[in-house]
Chain A
Amino acid sequence: MSDITLKITDREGVLYEVLAPTDMAMNLMEVVRSYELAPEGTIGVCGGMAMCASCQCYVKTDHELPEMGQDEDMMLAEAFYVEDNSRLGCQIQITPKMDGLEVELAPEM
């Protein structure tokens, strides 16, 4: 399977265009970590269990994303800087359909 392109704006407002594999069972939080777009220890703190919201991001395009589960919904209910387009990166598995997805990382909590 081929890679897809994602546009990720980091917490300093810098835009990165990165390639993400679709066959490695990666989620968006892990893609951000693999490119070190946020300092270690400030993202994916709970490891991807939707239990810390350190991977919160704002989705800028209308790509079809996996539906929000209850864990994610309830975690976002307690996170800070939450907007209508907030999602937890760890709950967004990378699929070929997400090619061109644009997201911005939410501020560190």
Chain B
Amino acid sequence: MITTDILIIGAGPTGLFTVFEAGLLKLKCHLIDALPQPGGQCSEIYPKKPIYDIPGFPEILAGDLTTNLLEQSKQFEPGFTLGERAETIEKQDDGSFIVTTNKGTKHQAPIVAIAGGLGSFEPRKPPIPNIADYEDHGVEYMIKDPEVYRDKKVVIAGGGDSALDWAVFLTDVAEEVTLVHRRNEFRGALDSVDKVQELKNLGKINLITPAEIKGILGTGKVTGVAVEKKGEAPFIVDADHFIPLFGLSPKLGPIGNWGLEIEKNAIKVDNALDYQTNIPGVYAIGDVNTYPGKLKLILCGFHEATLMCQSAFKRIFPDKKYVMKYTTVGGIDGFDGTRKEAPKAVVKAIN
């Protein structure tokens, strides 16, 4: 069991900044995120795109913002459970919560802060009528263990980096690799595209473009897929595995079943006070929440995180006296023993 003061669901910019604000109050944080890396949308969707409305940064790349936020909070030693999705929440007799992920990792904290953005990123599933019947029976939306494909016939669909990179990687593992994409052009990195071209020329990748997978065949498990080139009759490609790699899209997911008040795909909070949800002790901050006048902006998430931490402190220590201190005045005492503070003025006498 992982224990902490504030359990943050979502390691995007709002979640990461929460670690800093909580740290100033000597509260420890642990973050859970379905993605394998911190940063949320900033690292998953648009790391190379500039943001122009972060106060104090006329322009900053989303990826750099993530790096800076991690740097800013590192002395508060946040814990991370990455690549796992928060699945269930159970309130304990002592008022704390236990949040369990889809992989069974348990976390306990008196405060839960949901900073889940638009939800957890789930693979986009192509609209093939019977595809659900084959999930985990030959259809996989992400590759967890490449060894599963050793000496198997694999069909990959998609045109981005993950489709290209896995097609290249699996040529050394699988018996046969087929890559199907709706266009002749690929969106992925140039060297990945060149590599696929090279492997195609060597006959190691069976490239079918422009084409789409229209059906899946097999009884109980995948034995082939129906491929259709535009304007032509579909044909069958034998396959043990079909791996559609069409990127990720965020879904609110299991959080929607936590008994929280949901409106417009977001969690209703008390914005007059502290961004608490209808469950005392559970807060929602950043893009995942809604209230009158809500704006889904990173800078609003920072503000919400700051007020939420003050409220969380009062919940955890109802009788402790505290006044907010400027970091310039008080400096920052890290949990790792480091201290940052404003340099002392040098006094020199004039004789």
Inter-chain contact A74/B265, CB cutoff 8 Å = no
Inter-chain contact A41/B46, CB cutoff 8 Å = no
Chain B positions within 8 Å of A80 at CB level: 124, 126-127, 246
Inter-chain contact B246/A78, CB cutoff 8 Å = yes
Chain A positions within 8 Å of B247 at CB level: 52, 78
B325 contacts A by Cβ under 8 Å:
no
B160 contacts A by Cβ under 8 Å:
yes
Chain A positions within 8 Å of B187 at CB level: 74-75, 77-78
Place the interface of chain B in its size category.
Answer: 20 to 34
B183 contacts A by Cβ under 8 Å:
yes
DSSP class of A's interface residues: helix, strand, loop or mixed?
A: loop
Inter-chain contact B45/A41, CB cutoff 8 Å = no
Assuming the A-B contacts A40-B266, A109-B124, are A45 and B181 also in contact, with contact meaning beta carbons closer than 8 angstroms in the complex?
no
> Nearest CB to that of B251 among chain A residues?
A41
Inter-chain contact B118/A41, CB cutoff 8 Å = yes
Count of residues in A whose CB is under 8 Å from the partner chain: 19
B217 contacts A by Cβ under 8 Å:
no
How far apart sit A103 and B309, CA to CA, in the bound complex (Å)? Answer: 45
Inter-chain contact A45/B264, CB cutoff 8 Å = no
Inter-chain contact A51/B46, CB cutoff 8 Å = yes
Inter-chain contact B159/A77, CB cutoff 8 Å = yes
Inter-chain contact B265/A40, CB cutoff 8 Å = yes
How far apart sit A5 and B257, CA to CA, in the bound complex (Å)? Answer: 40
Over the window 258-289 of chain B, the binary record of Cβ atoms lying under 8 Å from chain A Cβ atoms (1 yes, 0 no) is 00000011100000000000000000000000
A39 contacts B by Cβ under 8 Å:
yes
> Nearest CB to that of B296 among chain A residues?
A47
Inter-chain contact A41/B266, CB cutoff 8 Å = yes
How far apart sit A58 and B68, CA to CA, in the bound complex (Å)? Answer: 41
A81 contacts B by Cβ under 8 Å:
yes
Inter-chain contact B265/A41, CB cutoff 8 Å = yes
Assuming the A-B contacts A54-B249, A74-B187, are A82 and B182 also in contact, with contact meaning beta carbons closer than 8 angstroms in the complex?
yes
B15 contacts A by Cβ under 8 Å:
no
A85 contacts B by Cβ under 8 Å:
no
Inter-chain contact A49/B49, CB cutoff 8 Å = yes
Over the window 212-254 of chain B, the binary record of Cβ atoms lying under 8 Å from chain A Cβ atoms (1 yes, 0 no) is 0000000000000000000000000000000000110110100
Interface residues of A (CB under 8 A from B): 39-42, 45-46, 49, 51-52, 54, 74-75, 77-78, 80-82, 107, 109
